[in-house]
Structure 1
Amino acid sequence: MFQSQLKDAAALIEARLMEALAGAADQPVTHAMRYAVAGGKRLRGFLVIEGAALYGVAADRAVHAAAAIEAIHAYSLVHDDMPCMDDDDLRRGQPTVHVKWDEGTALLVGDALQTLAFGLLADPACHPDPAVRIDLVGSLARASGIDGMVLGQAQDIAAETAGRALNLAEITELQANKTGALIRWSAEAGARLGGADIAPLSSYATALGLAFQIADDILDVEGDVEKTGKRVQKDADAGKATFVSLLGLEGAKARARDLVDEACAALAPFGARADALRDTARFVIARET
């Protein structure tokens, strides 16, 4: 049931992204944008759609915000894969954008996907109330910029030249920004679309985001490149501090399970209506990609 829901949401989100790019110029950068947003689990977009459903917002309304967060996520991956960042040549089992095209195109793809995201949120189709749209735009700007993801990326880069490994508190803060900020926005967006208090979904997503990153660290140790679609064991090779290096493999798995329990507990006010979000939390630490 959950996998079917995730697949249906992914198809809806991909259709919206391709619609947004349908009239774009016939240029390599446009083709590369379509390539960058194709595939993936669409987990962040799924959180938007399922969070919105709790407040009676239909999927065909929530899909605009869902597509926006997936565009931001895709931009972050394109830039993160570049030689000046993590220098990866494989993503989702395919060559990364800068490998398939070139670094200049990859840079522009990330820039264009970021602006596309805000265009999707500003479109009246996203929500009839301009105050809601500007709230979505402003909150995503904070989550993706120097108060969120970009800050986490900067902290990650700084850690590489710090001359020491980060401690648990520092790696937790870094990942709460780098990975967690966009996951929090994804869950909160449904409440914003529904004009409701974001606190319950924010608590859920804070625990979920940390569990997601711990699962990523575990996959980097135990994962198979054929399943993950990206290089594995690169953190250990680079000597980077991770939740696995700090907690041990079994300790990291136990912490991830505890965080999933926290995430599910935060959904208590919604009862059975939030079962898809509970399934999402369990999926996050059971996934192989």
Structure 2
Amino acid sequence: MQAQATTQWRLRIDAALERTLPAADEPPQRLHAAMRHAALLGGKRMRPLLVYATGTAFGAKLEALDAPALAVELIHAYSLVHDDLPAMDDDALRRGQPTVHVAFDEATAILAGDALQSLAFATLAQAPCDAAAGIAMLRELAVAAGSRGMCGGQALDIDATGKKWGQSEFRAEQPHGPEIAGANVHPDPISELEHLHALKTGALLRASVRLGAIAAGVDTATRAQLDRYADALGLAFQVRDDLLDVEGDSATLGKTAGKDAAQDKATFPALIGVEASHERLRALSHAMELALSGFGDSAGPLRALARLAVERDR
């Protein structure tokens, strides 16, 4: 049943993306073709699946979840386009296809990312909900995508690349609000790395869960439990990503394997080793189970997504 639900949700979000993105033959054609290249060539769809899984677990209708699910996936697509740019990770392969700046050109890739981000907020602003919930969702996504979330994490990642742990450049200088997990500045390398990933990867995953929760109108206690689940999920997703770069191959991953080590990136295997990283994944899996333990069968899809985060091979 859980597998059937996630399959149906994947088909739903793919169809919604197809409808929402501008047609490739609509001017400016090159920009619109690049946007579609970025968003429609597969992917795990983890973030919209989290929106659907959370919302439906607490009674929200699928129609109320489509706009936030679309919005968070469009933000994710934009982030990948910019992450692959020569000024960032300089990657030529994404989801087994040429990255946007390779398939088109660098200027078009920048504009495509910008346009995907704008489309995300335009889409979310049309969510069929009351004004208070709509504003809450817009704020949630904006914070998660900005300097106190995903963009801030990317900046920390750039600063950390090729540098020794504990250097002042790697520590966050700006204050962070309570919206993002791991927001305090930590003096030890493991905490610093966790903080980086709580922003770069975890913030948008956490926002996905929160968007579903807002659409379903969950209470404060339930939201706190979901936050604990989302925090563990975000870190587990990144630890697994780090391990796949070491243990996977480019054909399976659909992107270039081994780039983290080649670029001297800040990763868990580089800091604590491969086996300790696997052990950390097991601990995070247990933390997710505990966070969902009081929700019964309705949280089955959330449990399935937790397993996907720690067991995936791409």
TM-score normalised per structure 2: 0.88
Offset, 1:22: 4.3
Offset, 1:60: 2.5
Corresponding position of 1:216? 241
Corresponding position of 2:159? 158
Aligned length: 286
Match of 1:206 among 231, 234, 254: 231
Does 2:113 match 1:110? yes
SS of the residue aligned with 1:69?
Answer: helix
How far apart in 2 are the matches of 1:226 and 1:4?
27
**Does the CA contact (< 8 Å) of 1:14 and 1:67 recur in 2?**
no
How far apart in 2 are the matches of 1:77 and 1:272?
34
**Does the CA contact (< 8 Å) of 1:13 and 1:67 recur in 2?**
yes
How far apart in 2 are the matches of 1:120 and 1:47?
18
Match of 2:212 among 190, 201, 211: 190
- Name which of structure 1's ranges 13-22 and 213-222 shifts more when overlaid on structure 2: 13-22
Corresponding position of 2:45? 42
Corresponding position of 1:20? 20
**What CA RMSD, in Å, does the superposition of the two structures yield over aligned residues?**
1.4
SS of the residue aligned with 2:295?
Answer: helix
How far apart in 2 are the matches of 1:63 and 1:181?
20
**Does the CA contact (< 8 Å) of 1:225 and 1:231 recur in 2?**
yes
How far apart in 1 are the matches of 2:148 and 2:91?
25
Runs of 5+ unmatched residues, structure 2? 167-188
Amino acid corresponding to residue 35 of structure 1 in structure 2:
H
Corresponding position of 1:238? 263
Runs of 5+ unmatched residues, structure 1? none
Corresponding position of 1:95? 98
TM-score normalised per structure 1: 0.95
Corresponding position of 1:285? 310
Alignment of 1:129-140 (within 5 A): 129-140=130-141
Offset, 1:138: 0.8
**Does the CA contact (< 8 Å) of 2:6 and 2:301 recur in 1?**
no
Corresponding position of 2:35? 33
The Cα offsets for residues 55-105 of structure 1, whole Å up to 9 and x where unpaired, read as 211223212111110000000000000000000000000000000000010
**Does the CA contact (< 8 Å) of 1:165 and 1:240 recur in 2?**
no
How far apart in 2 are the matches of 1:178 and 1:139?
15
